[in-house]
Amino acid sequence: MQLKVDVKERGKGVYMVMPEGHLDSNTYLMLEEKLNPLFAASTKVLIFDLSRLDYISSAGLRVVFKAKKALKEINGSFMMANLKPQIKKVFDIINALPDIRVFKSLEEMDTYLDVMQRQEIEKQQ
């Protein structure tokens, strides 16, 4: 099965990664290639929108966790949204969800980000 990966900049330093298809040992390098340029100090938030991801294997999980680790090293935030039930189940099985923010939808995530930004602005005033 093929993998298509779209990356969109949602704001300064905020990137949304949208893999589509199967993320496995045959396709994970494609995702890695798209992610590597985003591991720069200018990246503040990396969002994985998994609404179009149908399957993830351990190779795919390694890419996701590598991205999470890379963002942590540059003091960025890593988030996931729109996990299909089968994808969420994989993360549930490996107990990965407690330390990764997961949102039901992009709208929920945007609301969260809005609140966080407003709190930061209030701190600065």
CATH number of the domain that 17 lies in? 3.30.750.24
Range of the domain at 10: 3-124
pLDDT of residue 52: 96
Mean pLDDT of all residues in 35-42: 89
What is d(CA 47, CA 75) in angstroms, rounded to the nearest whole number? 14
Please report where in the chains the tokens 């990137």 appear, as a residue: 15
**Which one has a higher pLDDT value, 19 or 86?**
19
Give the count of beta carbons closer than 10 Å to the beta carbon of residue 47: 24
Identify the sign of the CA torsion 3, 53, 78, 10: positive
If one counts the domains in the chain, the total is: 1
DSSP 8-state class, residue 50: -
pLDDT in tens, 52-79: 999 998 889 899 999 999 999 999 999 9
Q: Is 80 in contact with 96 (CB distance < 8 Å)?
A: no
